[in-house]
Structure 1
Amino acid sequence: MDLSPIGKAVLVAREGRRLHAYRDSVGIWTIGIGHTSAAGPPLVTPGLALTLAECDAVFDRDVVRFVAAVRAAVPAPLPQHAFDALVSLCFNIGPAALGRSTLVRRLNAGDAEGAAQAMMLWDRPAALIPRRGAEQDQFRTPYAVALPRARRNDAAPIAVPDGTAPARPVARRTVPRSPGAPPAVPLPPEAAPTWLARIRAALGGRSGA
């Protein structure tokens, strides 16, 4: 799997574009779209500046690392919205933290809703809580049902690139769910191991719908 155009647009909105070096909320020198020296060149130092083209090129190079980290941490195929949400989380907390997280343990055990809840464990500093809530919503909700927000309390979802808006959802039969549970979506028809089927079902529906 790879980061979708929608996933990329919302991640850029969450990180923001800054063409001059600055200290982030925990004091780390940062530039561009959430780029720090830990991600590789350029080394971020006071006074560093990027052009817009350089900023986007650095992001495109950086994000490959986080996509690969999500693939490695969660071998099972995921719905695109859930995969994109994990890349957004990983971009913020780092590949090592994602790999050893309660979220990944629960997801690989087939507990997708428990994994969604575990996203909110990464709530420091407190300024990250609205972002984390939006990532949780993105993880749970198919793009055909609702587009993601940069932060949960934002008035409107992120505007997606031209031609990448999801198709209108088709009518389908779904199993009843408790109030507040994520919307159901049908699974692909191919057979899957039981543990993989449990992950997909918990993230949105079941085959045969």
Structure 2
Amino acid sequence: MKTSQRGIDLIKEFESLHDGDLKKTGLQPKMDPVGIWTEGYGRAMHDDKGNFLKGAGNKASAEKRATIFTEKEAEEALRQDLEVYENIVAKKVRVPITQNQFDALVSHTYNTGGSDGLFKLINDRAAGAAIRNWFVTKYITAQGVKLNGLIRRRKDEADLFFAK
């Protein structure tokens, strides 16, 4: 399966187009709520060793490493990145799912890296209430603080998962 436009729109809504410095021409890297530098639609940036590029002290490094400067480049990068997360969902889910369910899981995995707990509930064909509860109560914090954006995202992912 491939992520539908509905799934892409959900990801774009919550990731938003990152521009960390509106005074500069083009898109600029931006730190996410846990201090990871991102560009485009939430693409995490890495140092030379493959570690997340983190912290305000790495702003110059993030700007130097940036590869996404236009909305078109951000869109292309998102579509490339989605292949990774689509493959994770395809490998982890072993039961038939709908397009909406796939899209919700790709959005969740794009944001969190995926959760074996959620995949297990789905593969075990858990009750809808248990799956919905999992969506809306997990991965809603950053550094121990509940974030309204994550709460809204998890609710919207759950709503998409159960949409007909």
TM-score by length of 2: 0.75
Q: Distance in 1 between matches of 2:3 and 2:32?
A: 24
Q: Distance in 2 between matches of 1:116 and 1:82?
A: 12
Length, aligned pairs only: 135
What is aligned with 1:191?
none
Structure 1 stretches of 4+ with a deviation exceeding 6 A read none
* % identity of equivalent residues: 28
Q: Distance in 2 between matches of 1:73 and 1:61?
A: 20
* Matched residue type, 2:139: W
Q: Distance in 1 between matches of 2:10 and 2:151?
A: 16
For the aligned residues, what is the CA RMSD? 2.0
Please list, as runs of the form range in 1=range in 2, the aligned pairs for 1:41-120 lying within 5 A after superposition: 45-47=61-63, 48=66, 50-95=69-114, 98=115, 100=116, 102-113=117-128, 114-120=130-136
TM-score by length of 1: 0.59
What is aligned with 2:139?
122
Query: Structure 1: which 5+ residue stretches go unaligned?
Result: 143-209
SS of 1:20 mapped into structure 2: coil
Per residue, is there more helix in 1 or in 2?
A: 2
- Give the conservation status (yes or no) of the 8 Å contact 2:132–2:158: yes
- Give the conservation status (yes or no) of the 8 Å contact 1:21–1:29: yes
- 2:39 maps to 1:31: yes
Q: Deviations over 1:136-185 (max 9, x none)?
A: 1111122xxxxxxxxxxxxxxxxxxxxxxxxxxxxxxxxxxxxxxxxxxx
Please list, as runs of the form range in 1=range in 2, the aligned pairs for 1:194-209 lying within 5 A after superposition: none
The one of 138, 141, 148 equivalent to 2:163 is 141
- Cα shift at 1:123: 1.5
Query: Structure 2: which 5+ residue stretches go unaligned?
Result: 19-26, 54-60
* Matched residue type, 1:12: K
* Matched residue type, 2:134: A
- Cα shift at 1:112: 4.5
* Matched residue type, 1:27: G
- Give the conservation status (yes or no) of the 8 Å contact 1:104–1:115: no
- 2:12 maps to 1:12: yes
- Give the conservation status (yes or no) of the 8 Å contact 1:85–1:138: yes
Q: Distance in 2 between matches of 1:117 and 1:2?
A: 26
SS of 1:30 mapped into structure 2: strand
- Give the conservation status (yes or no) of the 8 Å contact 2:39–2:45: no
What is aligned with 2:24?
none
